């Protein structure tokens, strides 16, 4: 593509957002609240919020993520503010790239959405050290999150910095900006009791401090039952319909609706069915809630070493409605979109009523009715004011469909579901009836290899699309840094590394006498390294070689990852007993302690360190054990490759790379390098690192994160029933497979050709099998029956209170491909009684023979199509039977698109 064309593409992409640089996004408005809801510009609002963490995506991704959130029905975007990203060094602030908070807030405003800014500054968020900068623990006398003067001084300074920045940029609502609400602290109620009275005083101080900054919008505290009167206390959890704030003057807010869960290395993948998620949201609004946020609506990626809470994977997909790559997760996104549309139809009645009328419909069935007199202006109507009625009918029975009578009519309620009636008469949505398409995503090879010369045939991998030309360099198992130092005993890991690297090297020289050798031979024994406690990973090298025997560690706190590697212990504070082989004379003993994300949750994080705890001995010598705490150790932080930045294009030649041959793999503590061309199109790009062991990877100098191919247990995955209370282990997938093998590479980090990929491998893997993948939705399926309801967005409020046409009552099937893809073929279509599920459909005994032709005519060659599900379209293949339309379609990239997208 010519440079001029590229520039035009770039301008087309950014032009909608240029206006936000100087202009206000809204006419300035005030935000207050009463017992019922947030009051925006004098009017109560029912608000749907979408959680997006700006550093877990790139700025180039932000506009699309915000747009998809808005299209999905969100009114608000919610994000934390990440202190350690914005102040990596005390007093030195960073607001660029993925941490350009101002740009993110302005993009939200430019889209017409509001923003809820959760300053914290403690965020938890499965983020490294809970969002605290590691330098904070070195402030003299500091105790985190309590009535402690050093902590309060640092916290207030940062919170004030953010509030002042938002005010300077004119981003608060009263300035015409999108920020309608702020948050101070985060789930402090979970640990407040640890600090006794000091904890209570801290809550009062934090509230006074926050409000005293003059932001001019309401402040929230979540999970804080003793929040002061002027702070809204809010709920976090899977269900919050039973939550009530600590004052009758406060509205019911749900700041974190956990629509999925995070994932640990070696664990199964959690999944929360959309039927249950929609049920939880509908119940919340049914029972008086007014602000609900999805945590997460887009989860994204833990780039670099940002992943916290030891052993959490690089992906933060969270089973969210928008996946890690920015693709829609269907049916979750679409079903929630319909839910939001149904709730919005009810909004005039919901905000007009101070409380609902409650009616018992059965032993486990109930109705909540909202009635309000609304003026004509609110309804955009010329018919004058009206008394509106909206109702929610719930069946909380986990097993049975129940028929109920409500206001003179009969309604069938599926188990564990809520029906929404915006006019107290017509059902426009039921949480258990999913009429949205299912999207099947794939990762396909799409590689153009860049090679400096001929690649021998034996080097070409069997994996299609694999990178087959590599160079390599070994990480030295020796002291190389000029900044090394020697000290007696074992120093605390974080005190030395300051979290500038995962790795801390401990070098010692051990002398073995003839008597020791004879003693071991006579007793058929070997010396052992014994350590009371280590965290998170330990590698033991003797004379440059990883020790021969594997340690199987166990742990009683948090998590144990069942991983066995020679000379390695893995766990969260685990005991180590490692046999080693020593030779006569002097031996080089090297202990490499590693972190895999710092703790992100709990009281006294300032005390939470890494490395070693307790006693450390080298046992088995003839004259007794050697106390490793009493000897001299030489310390070295990080890897030489990290120090030289050999992963960056401008510095990669600082290493003496050599061609990699097949007989040189696998190898431990080794760097690998190759180049690749960018795949064409706009599909998201990922690296398939399933052939590797454990390590880190960089593309064009950008750190895409840690990788680890540890597999989940074979057992534990089962078919998931959405009915009944959800918990994180209820619906899991991916048993027996590596927890994560695909790693997101944002397209904005790529260039047209010669993209540098550098991998650091710790345990031994095969880089010849690494491949570049394109992530896309290739198959879409849907099943819609005559018993489904028409899409809620088809309804108008005026129609609900007038004459509803029969056409509006007809269910519809909507099929849509993403990105540059179009529907190129209909693989299956049947109107009648089709059987099975997506990619396993079959005809039933009742089938309309024109099904395939009609669906193909309506959809083929298009990005999106709609088909009414009725006999009027397909004819009636079997009278007196409820018919269903089942369709499977294939999405393929359109051929008339450019070769590279910015």
By annotation, the residues acting in catalysis are: 187, 256
Rounded CA separation 4/273 (Å):
47
Sign of the C-alpha dihedral computed for residues 323, 131, 60 and 20 taken in this order: positive
Whether the CB-CB separation of 504 and 635 falls below 8 Å is answered with yes
In sequence order, which ranges of 296-434 are alpha helices (DSSP H)? 332-352, 376-379
Across 16-140, the runs of DSSP E, i.e. the strands, are 31-33, 38-40, 43-45, 47-52, 76-80, 114-120
| Residues paired with residue 703 on neighbouring β-strands, in sequence order | 698
Q: Are strands 658-659 and 632-637 parallel, antiparallel or unpaired?
A: unpaired
Count of Cβ atoms closer than 10 Å to residue 456 Cβ: 11
Rounded CA separation 900/877 (Å):
48
Helix axes 3-18, 62-71, angle to 10 degrees: 50
Rounded CA separation 760/541 (Å):
18
* C-alpha R_g of the chain: 30
Rounded CA separation 673/759 (Å):
7
Distance of CA 166 to the CA centre of its chain: 25
Helix axes 101-110, 3-18, angle to 10 degrees: 70
Rounded CA separation 700/4 (Å):
24
Q: Is the peptide bond preceding residue 171 cis, with omega within 30 degrees of 0?
A: no
Rounded CA separation 485/505 (Å):
11
Structure tokens at 697: 């990877």
Rounded CA separation 412/404 (Å):
6
Three-state SS for 335-375 is: HHHHHHHHHHHHHHHHHHCCCCEEEEEECCEEEEEEEEEEC
Count of Cβ atoms closer than 10 Å to residue 808 Cβ: 15
DSSP string, 723-786: SS---TTTSEE-TTSBS--EEEE-GGG--SS-EEEEEEESS---GGG-EEEEEEEEEEEEEEET
| Residues paired with residue 79 on neighbouring β-strands, in sequence order | 117
Residue 128 has what DSSP assignment? Answer: G
Structure tokens at 729: 């282990």
Phi, psi of 754 (to 5 degrees): 55, 50
Whether the CB-CB separation of 289 and 577 falls below 8 Å is answered with no
In sequence order, which ranges of 188-262 are alpha helices (DSSP H)? 197-211
Degrees to nearest 5, angle at CA 161 with 156 and 164: 115
Rounded CA separation 537/532 (Å):
14
Rounded CA separation 28/15 (Å):
24
Which residues have C-beta within 8 Å of that of residue 345, sequence separation ≥ 6?
390, 420, 422, 428, 792, 795, 797, 800
Nearest to 527 by CA among 476, 578, 463: 578
Nearest to 568 by CA among 556, 580, 559, 585: 580
Nearest to 349 by CA among 745, 789, 800, 685: 800
């Amino acid at each position: 593509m010519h440079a001029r064309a590229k520039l035009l593409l770039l301008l087309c992409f950014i032009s909608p957002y240029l206006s936000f640089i100087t202009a206000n996004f809204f006419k300035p408005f005030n935000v207050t609240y009463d017992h019922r809801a947030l009051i925006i510009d004098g009017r109560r609002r029912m608000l749907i919020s979408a959680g997006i963490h700006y550093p877990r995506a790139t700025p180039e991704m932000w506009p699309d993520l915000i747009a998809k959130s808005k299209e999905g029905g969100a009114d608000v975007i919610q994000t934390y503010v990440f202190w350690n990203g914005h102040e990596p060094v005390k007093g030195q602030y960073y607001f660029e790239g993925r941490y350009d908070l101002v740009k993110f807030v302005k993009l939200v405003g430019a889209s017409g959405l509001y923003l809820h800014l959760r300053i914290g500054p403690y965020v938890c968020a499965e983020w490294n050290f809970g969002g605290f900068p590691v330098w904070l623990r070195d402030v003299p006398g500091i105790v985190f999150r309590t009535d402690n003067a050093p902590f309060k001084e640092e916290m207030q300074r940062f919170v004030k910095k953010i509030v002042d920045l938002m005010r300077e940029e004119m981003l608060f609502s009263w300035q015409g900006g999108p920020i309608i609400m702020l948050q101070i602290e985060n789930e402090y109620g979970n640990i407040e009791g640890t600090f006794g009275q000091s904890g209570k005083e801290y809550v009062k101080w934090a509230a006074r401090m926050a409000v005293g900054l003059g932001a001019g919008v309401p402040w929230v505290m979540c999970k804080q039952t003793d929040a002061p009167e002027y702070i809204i206390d809010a709920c976090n959890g899977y269900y919050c319909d039973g939550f009530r704030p600590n004052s009758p003057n406060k509205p019911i807010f749900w700041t974190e609706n956990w629509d999925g869960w995070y994932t640990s290395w070696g664990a199964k993948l959690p999944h929360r069915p959309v039927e249950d998620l929609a049920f939880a949201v509908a119940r919340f609004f049914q029972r008086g809630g007014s602000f609900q946020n999805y945590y997460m609506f887009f989860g994204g990626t833990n780039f670099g070493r940002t992943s916290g809470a030891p052993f959490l994977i690089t992906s933060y997909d969270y089973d969210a409605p928008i996946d890690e790559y920015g693709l829609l997760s269907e049916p979750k996104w679409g079903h929630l979109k319909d839910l939001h549309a149904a709730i919005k139809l009810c909004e005039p009645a919901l905000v007009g009523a101070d409380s609902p009328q409650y009616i018992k419909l059965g032993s486990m069935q109930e109705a909540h009715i909202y009635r309000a007199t609304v003026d004509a202006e609110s309804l955009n109507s010329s018919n004058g004011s009206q008394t509106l009625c909206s109702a929610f009918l719930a069946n909380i029975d986990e097993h049975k469909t129940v028929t109920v009578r409500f206001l003179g009519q009969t309604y069938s309620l599926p188990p564990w579901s809520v029906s929404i009636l915006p006019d107290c008469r017509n059902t426009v949505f039921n949480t258990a009836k999913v009429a949205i398409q299912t999207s099947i995503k794939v990762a396909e090879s799409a590689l153009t290899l860049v090679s400096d010369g001929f690649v021998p045939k034996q080097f070409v991998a069997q994996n299609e699309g694999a990178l087959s030309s590599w160079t390599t360099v070994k990480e030295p198992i020796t002291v190389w840094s000029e900044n090394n130092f020697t000290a007696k005993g074992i120093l605390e890991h974080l005190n030395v590394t300051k979290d500038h690297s995962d790795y801390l090297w401990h070098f010692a020289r051990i002398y073995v006498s003839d008597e020791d050798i004879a003693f071991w031979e006579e007793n058929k024994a070997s010396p052992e390294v014994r350590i009371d406690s280590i965290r998170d990973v330990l590698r033991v090298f003797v004379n440059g070689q990883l020790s021969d025997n594997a340690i199987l560690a166990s742990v009683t706190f948090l998590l144990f990852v069942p991983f066995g590697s020679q000379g390695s212990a893995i766990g969260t504070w685990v005991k180590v007993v490692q046999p080693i082989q020593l030779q006569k004379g002097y031996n080089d003993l090297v202990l490499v302690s590693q972190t895999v994300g710092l703790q992100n949750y709990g009281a006294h994080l300032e005390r939470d360190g890494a490395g070693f705890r307790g006693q450390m001995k080298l046992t088995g010598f003839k004259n007794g054990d050697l106390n490793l705490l009493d000897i001299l150790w030489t310390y070295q932080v990080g890897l030489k490759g990290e120090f030289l930045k050999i992963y960056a294009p401008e510095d990669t030649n600082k290493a003496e790379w050599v061609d990699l041959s097949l007989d040189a793999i696998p190898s431990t503590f080794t760097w690998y390098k190759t180049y690749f061309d960018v795949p064409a199109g706009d599909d998201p790009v990922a690296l398939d690192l399933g052939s590797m062991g454990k390590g880190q990877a960089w593309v064009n100098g950008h750190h895409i994160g840690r990788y680890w191919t540890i597999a989940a247990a074979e057992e534990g995955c089962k078919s998931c029933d959405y009915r009944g209370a959800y918990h994180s282990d209820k619906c899991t997938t991916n048993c027996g497979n590596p927890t994560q093998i695909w790693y997101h590479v944002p397209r904005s980090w790529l260039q047209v050709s010669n993209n540098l990929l550098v991998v650091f491998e710790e345990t031994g893997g095969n880089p010849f099998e690494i491949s570049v993948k394109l992530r896309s939705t290739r198959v879409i399926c849907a099943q819609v029956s005559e018993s489904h309801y028409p899409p809620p967005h088809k309804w108008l409020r005026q129609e609900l209170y007038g004459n509803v046409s029969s056409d509006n009552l007809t269910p519809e099937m909507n099929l849509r491909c993403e990105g540059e893809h179009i529907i190129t073929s209909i693989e299956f279509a049947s109107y009648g009684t089709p059987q099975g599920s997506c990619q396993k459909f079959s005809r039933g005994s009742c089938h309309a023979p024109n099904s395939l032709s009609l669906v193909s005519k309506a959809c083929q060659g298009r990005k999106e199509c709609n088909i009414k599900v009725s006999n009027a379209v397909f004819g009636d293949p079997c009278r007196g039977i409820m018919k269903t339309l089942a369709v499977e379609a294939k999405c393929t990239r359109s051929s008339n698109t450019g070769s590279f997208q910015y």
